[in-house]
Amino acid sequence: MPISKQTILIVDDEPANLAVLSATLAEEYKVRAANSGKHALEAAFLEPYPDLILLDIIMPEMDGYTVLKKLKENPITQDIPVIFFTSMESEEDERKGLQLGAIDYITKPIKPLIMLARVKAQLTMKLAHDFLHDKNDFLEAEIKRRMEENQIIQNVSIRALAHLAETRDQETGEHLKRTQSYIGLLAKQLQNHPRFRETLTDHYNSLLTMSAPLHDIGKVGIPDHILLKPGQLNDEEWEIMKTHAEMGAHAIELAEKDINQSVEFLVIAKEIARWHHERWNGTGYPDGLIGDQIPISARFMALVDVFDAITTMRIYKPAISFSEARTIIIDGRNQHFDPDVTDAFLEIFDEFTDIALRFR
């Protein structure tokens, strides 16, 4: 397949100069000619766009300096290399042309062989520049594609692990989708709150939402006769049930050791798994953390998990109404739940109920 010729736009109000330059360049390049600044701008926007522009400076109505300024102002033409050729010979004129963005400055009278050599040199550099630019665009697109692919794999892996726990407790239904949506709502609501804004960046919120489904991963280690018991757990069974928090965090720690490095979303997932049953007043488990000792991620999940648990039917209990659940959350303010997180929940309570109904 033949290589297409590069396109050169020649701009000069003198027909003789246009004729000489066209004859010099036509054998190796596609030549486009314009006899004024106005026609030059029109020709520069015709496809294929010029690879190089030879531009006279002294022209009536619109001089070459003005043409170059307009070319540089437009994203389509701003990177087209421009060579000035002119009878203006002073060093100041040359400096002005180069400062405006011309890549070369050739004085008249035109010497065809010198002009051809300068044109070839500039077009060779342009080819190299375009190659590197295209290569860079390709690499950026490839990096973006691979990052998106890795994100998809990561999300699928999280969902798969979370569903592994959910299959042990099938009556939770759409529990994962609901809790993930609830925690995303809370994070957005509190993003500008003085106590939380340093932590709740867009990046953190994305990781938090992504990590949320792993909060009950430790349930895979709870025996069926306890996990699926239709009635109330006795004291011994309850102590075993509570170990799911530590088991979940331990499983994530093992995953971190396997990859031999810390991964941000796993750090958050581990916090949620271990401490989402802690209480603001220190009466929770497994570590009895109190107040701000409990990571933000776990404080969010504490409220979200309770709301979801009491508003959905489980094997051991019926669901309660949203209004009753709202009262329970209010009663838990400053006891079970961070007071500011509770207040945020109340502000977006209707959105919580919408999610509950959507993923019922």
Q: Is residue 113 part of a domain?
A: yes
In this structure, are 214 and 112 located in the same domain? no
In this structure, are 177 and 251 located in the same domain? yes
In this structure, are 130 and 173 located in the same domain? no
CA–CA dist 234, 238 (Å, integer): 6
Q: Is residue 258 part of a domain?
A: yes
DSSP 3-state assignment of 337?
Answer: strand
- Report the CATH number at residue 350: 1.10.3210.10
Higher pLDDT residue, 95 or 351?
A: 351
In this structure, are 128 and 211 located in the same domain? no
What DSSP string runs through 19-67?
Answer: HHHHHHHTTTSEEEEESSHHHHHHHHTSSSPPSEEEEES--SSS-HHHH
Count up the domains in the chain and report the number.
2
Residue 319 has pLDDT above 50, yes or no: yes
In this structure, are 349 and 299 located in the same domain? yes
In this structure, are 30 and 124 located in the same domain? yes
Q: Is residue 53 part of a domain?
A: yes
Least confident of 33-42, 108-117, 195-204: 108-117
In this structure, are 177 and 267 located in the same domain? yes
Element housing 9 (H / E): strand 7-11
Q: Is residue 159 part of a domain?
A: no
Residue 1 banded pLDDT, cuts 50, 70, 90: very low
- Give me the phi and psi of 64, to 5 degrees please: -65, -35
- Report the CATH number at residue 104: 3.40.50.2300
Higher pLDDT residue, 160 or 140?
A: 140
Least confident of 10-19, 39-48, 86-95, 283-292: 86-95
Residue 243 has pLDDT above 90, yes or no: yes
Q: Is residue 152 part of a domain?
A: no
Instruction: State which residues form the domain around 270.
Output: 167-358
How do residues 51-61 score in pLDDT, each as one tens digit? 999 888 888 88
How do residues 99-138 score in pLDDT, each as one tens digit? 887 878 887 787 777 778 888 888 877 777 777 777 777 7
Q: What is the mean pLDDT of residues 265-288?
A: 94
Report the predicted TM-score, pTM, of the whole model to 2 decimal places. 0.60
Q: Is residue 153 part of a domain?
A: no
Average pLDDT, the chain: 86
Residue 165 has pLDDT above 70, yes or no: no
Q: Is the peptide bond between 112 and the residue preceding it cis, with omega within 30 degrees of 0?
A: no
What is the distance in angstroms between the CA of the first residue and the CA of the last residue of the chain? 61
Q: What is the mean pLDDT of residues 220-225?
A: 87
In this structure, are 342 and 275 located in the same domain? yes
Residues whose CB is less than 8 angstroms from the CB of residue 198 and which lie 6 or more positions away in sequence, other chains included:
none
In the sheet that holds 52-56, the strands lie side by side as 30-34, 7-11, 52-56, 82-86, 104-107
- Give me the phi and psi of 231, to 5 degrees please: -110, -170
In this structure, are 135 and 174 located in the same domain? no
Element housing 10 (H / E): strand 7-11
Residue 154 has pLDDT above 80, yes or no: no
Q: What is the mean pLDDT of residues 269-280?
A: 96
